[in-house]
Homo-oligomer: A and B are copies of this chain.
Amino acid sequence: MPRIVQKYGGTSVGDVERIRNVAERIKTSRAEGHQVVVVLSARAGVTNELIARARALCPEPSERELDQLLAIGEQESIALMAMALQGISVPAVSYTGAQAGIFTDRVHTKAKIKMINAKPVERDLAEGRVVIVAGFQGIDEDGHITTLGRGGSDLTAIALAAAIKADRCEIYTDVDGVYTADPRVVRTARKLDEISYDEMLELASSGSKVMQSRSVEFAKKYRVAFEVRSSFNHNPGTLVKEEVSYMEKVVVRGVAADKDQTKVIVSNIADKPGSAAKVFRALAAANVNVDMIVQNAGRHGIANLTFTVPQAETARAAKVLKPVLAEIGGGEVTVHERIAKLSVVGVGMKTHSGVAATLFQALADAGINIDLISTSEIKISVVVDLERADEAVRAAHAAFALDKA
């Protein structure tokens, strides 16, 4: 009997009515002859409520206790979903992360899954039950509850799908799938039928909010194909899977804009060996995630370093740079917040030239200035003014004819 793992997010279990709707979907999947495992998030809003209550009692609670507290959000979802299924005559049983045998390391609030003992889940499936598993959570080897961090429920679903060798894995969300661009920005954006892991990863790190990179990386590593689709309709979604040869016909798969980046320029530093290394070593030590980096060739023994960092890390970056500049003999830091990073992504780029030229021409035709440029095998990213970002996305989308299948 084919096995399917379905993951539903917090908005899909937001109230009694939505829980009932999801239960009906699950019933249908089961009636179609599937063994069904369901992974659920906490109902939308619960996590923030709990964190607010925690902070009222302790400004910096231990992460161990935060995990113990937050885990109840999914536990509520799974028990209620099991009951909703029982209410429509579908045998169901709910499992916390611990009960589902999801063992993690000891790193509270951002644990990594080490091993899944799926025997109890498999036994229940064999006995005809739908198994509802709490996403986002696991247990370490001493029995402490851990949570997996952002996007943790997607990760639970993909890891479980790998563990029970599921035939399908469906990630239900509030969007219909992965689009060639954000449909709110590009009216003609088209939903993709499929996309490779690598393209999905580049889109995820380029501002597309559909899924966190780590879940996609996990799926790639364990070769779990999964479908991103909406829980609010029955439209087919986007299948994320290994790259196959016919995918190569498509040069560019999608366009994304990341508006949460800041550009930092370290100017007027002495152009001598080791200066750049010192700058980036300090940033790494402070856990600042540096993205695009450009070093201008030095003139008169003076160089400029430009890079982008997430907005939330900008202040930290500026702070750690001060002592470094003093050490390497001067220089100035300027921060430009009103920027966006535009990326075009596609596995076909590997074997096609001219993608960069097409992109640059399209932006030039639209009168949009390009600031930084960086490239990977399957991505080209440029920094543009934040105010022109949406326009740039539309120009790129049109230039690569992404509105046509």
Contacts and interface: CB of A to CB of B under 8 A. Distances in A.
A71 B68 CA distance: 12
A68 B143 CA distance: 17
B76 A71 contact: no
B50 A76 contact: yes
A317 interface: no
A323 interface: no
A40 to B, nearest CB: 13
A5 interface: no
B98 A120 contact: no
A61 B78 contact: no
B16 A56 contact: yes
A399 interface: no
Count identical subunits in the complex: 2
A65 B87 contact: no
B57 A68 contact: no
A71 B94 CA distance: 13
A402 interface: no
B75 A80 contact: no
Interface string A91-111: 001101011000000000000
A58 B87 contact: yes
A78 B72 CA distance: 12
Contacts of A23: 57
A83 interface: yes
A203 interface: no
B16 A53 contact: yes
Interface string A153-171: 0000000000000000000
Interface in A51-97: 53-54, 56-59, 61-62, 64-66, 68-69, 71-72, 75-76, 78-80, 82-84, 86-87, 93-94, 96
Given A20-B57, A56-B16, A79 B99 contact: no
A84 B57 contact: yes
Question: What does DSSP make chain A's interface, helix, strand, loop or mixed?
Answer: helix
A69 B76 contact: yes
A220 to B, nearest CB: 32
A68 B82 contact: yes
A189 interface: no
A27 to B, nearest CB: 13
Interface string A211-244: 0000000000000000000000000000000000
A225 B185 CA distance: 70
A57 B94 contact: no
Contact of A80 (B16, B57, B80): B57
Contacts of A78: 68
A78 B94 CA distance: 22
B62 A82 contact: yes
A83 B61 contact: yes
Interface of A: 16, 19-20, 23, 50, 53-54, 56-59, 61-62, 64-66, 68-69, 71-72, 75-76, 78-80, 82-84, 86-87, 93-94, 96, 98-99, 120, 142-145
7 contacts: A16-B53, A19-B57, A57-B80, A57-B83, A57-B84, A58-B87, A68-B94
Given A68-B75, A72-B75, 10 more contacts: A50-B76, A53-B80, A54-B79, A57-B80, A62-B82, A65-B82, A65-B83, A71-B75, A98-B143, A120-B143
Nearest 4 CB-CB pairings of A with B: A58-B87, A69-B79, A72-B72, A61-B83
